[in-house]
Structure 1
Amino acid sequence: MAGTAASRGREVRRRLVQAARDLVPERGWTAVSTRTVAERAGVAPGLVHYHFSSLQALLAEAAVGALRDMVGGAGMLVQRAGTPGELVDLLTAEVERYTGTDPASLLAVETYLAATRDPDLRRQLTAVLDEFRARLADRLREHGVPDPDATAAVLAAVIDGVLLHRALTPLPAGTVAPVLRRIVERGQQG
């Protein structure tokens, strides 16, 4: 019986997280309520606070988890790159998957904005970014790119900025990649 109750609890928690992931891009971070999450998940509103310390904790877990998944996919691309130029090409091609108005892009934008007002969310989001930057810097270091930590930080910021701009004025990978390739390849030449 305990296994059944535990599995039901895990399923409710999973549905709440998925509902939050869906609602933040649809309505905006501040317009998501306990009631709307519960309704979307098909559970009673009291279960939100049974499974999470607060609505903000649920939203943070949902958003940070989704962003961790996005960054994890990009991190795997980084490992495949045979050269710094190929690394840039793979990252910029990955951004092409996002329109700037798709749910994943909107979730990222909403989460960044919410993190400016929530120190705990900021800490969690910063940890995700730091992990990605570290993976990127390690790969740049392996390829002999000078100052790989600073280069990784700038590349990550540019990729984020390109994603942000896509909702307004898309910058195609064919425009972004050559500029970034010049940065990482010139650095190698000295």
Structure 2
Amino acid sequence: MPSKTNAERGRNVRAQLLTAARELVGELGWSAVSTRILAERAGVRPGLVHYHFESLQALLRQAVLEEMRRMLDGTAALLDTTPNPTAGIEAMLSDLDRYTGADPASLLFIEAYLAATRDPRLHEEMRGLVIDFRNHLATSLARSGHPAPEAAATVVMAVFDGFLLHKGLDPELSAARIAPLLRQLTDTEPNGAHS
């Protein structure tokens, strides 16, 4: 069996570092992740962090943005596979039920939002991801004849974010409790015919 090339080894190390960064941001918090801790978790020498990334912050930023993009793409796919935006929004909300608000993925997002208040580059890139997703949602609502698709998409996304934050404080919250209200906000059929 041939040995790995330098490029393959480099890709593997980068992947290990990004995975370790995602895990550690959720476990320890953004500011508690050090080069040493990250390298130890990834199983590599600390010098490789700065060999593969311009800085620790650049590595953390990339790890978080990749995870956000993956989640938002998956959520957009839910929207695209349902018969109407209301059903898609309910499917997305139900998907959020698997997060507790205190699980590693939830904490990763919460930490990223906080870090974005101090990191202008992270802020801009996260803003772009959020705007793209909101526009996707608004376009879907507009196609269904919603009278205010942009405003509805903004409220839906705010509800999703708030739902995740509140679940960390109140694990009893569930999608079923807020789905009827979102249905009223997004349904364009008389008397909720989509329901």
TM-score bracket for the superposition, by shorter chain length? over 0.9
**Would you say 1:6 and 2:7 are equivalent positions?**
yes
Look up the equivalent residue of 2:96 and give its one-letter code. Answer: V
Question: Distance between the aligned counterparts of 1:29 and 1:62, measured in 2?
Answer: 11
- Identity percentage of aligned residues: 50
**Would you say 1:47 and 2:48 are equivalent positions?**
yes
Look up the equivalent residue of 1:147 and give its one-letter code. Answer: A
- Number of paired residues? 187
Aligned to 1:92: 93
TM-score normalised by the chain length of structure 1: 0.94
Question: Distance between the aligned counterparts of 1:146 and 1:10, measured in 2?
Answer: 48
User: Which sits farther off after the overlay, 151-160 or 78-87?
Assistant: 78-87
Structure 2 unpaired stretches of 5+: 191-195
Partner of 2:168, secondary structure, is: coil
Structure 1 unpaired stretches of 5+: none
Look up the equivalent residue of 2:132 and give its one-letter code. Answer: E
**Would you say 1:65 and 2:58 are equivalent positions?**
no
* C-alpha deviation, 1:87, in angstroms: 2.1
Aligned to 2:178: 176
Aligned to 1:163: 164
Partner of 1:43, secondary structure, is: coil
- 1:133-189 deviation per Cα after TM superposition (whole angstroms, max 9, x unaligned): 11111111111112212211111111111011110014211111100111112x666
5 Å matches for 1:1-190?
4-170=5-171, 171-185=173-187
Question: Distance between the aligned counterparts of 2:104 and 2:49, measured in 1?
Answer: 22
Contact 2:100 / 2:168 at 8 angstroms: preserved in 1? yes
Segments of 4+ in structure 1 off by > 2 A? none
* C-alpha deviation, 1:83, in angstroms: 2.3
Question: Distance between the aligned counterparts of 2:82 and 2:143, measured in 1?
Answer: 11
* C-alpha deviation, 1:91, in angstroms: 1.6
Contact 1:75 / 1:132 at 8 angstroms: preserved in 2? yes
Question: Distance between the aligned counterparts of 1:85 and 1:133, measured in 2?
Answer: 14
- 1:49-81 deviation per Cα after TM superposition (whole angstroms, max 9, x unaligned): 111111000000001111111111110011122
Aligned to 2:193: none
Question: Distance between the aligned counterparts of 2:133 and 2:60, measured in 1?
Answer: 21
Calculate the aligned-residue CA RMSD, in Å: 1.5
Look up the equivalent residue of 2:87 and give its one-letter code. Answer: E
TM-score normalised by the chain length of structure 2: 0.91
Question: Distance between the aligned counterparts of 1:126 and 1:32, measured in 2?
Answer: 23
Question: Distance between the aligned counterparts of 1:36 and 1:105, measured in 2?
Answer: 21
Partner of 1:166, secondary structure, is: helix
Question: Distance between the aligned counterparts of 2:95 and 2:54, measured in 1?
Answer: 35
Give the direction of change, closer, same or farther, for the CA distance of 1:119–1:188 in structure 2 (3 Å limit). Answer: farther
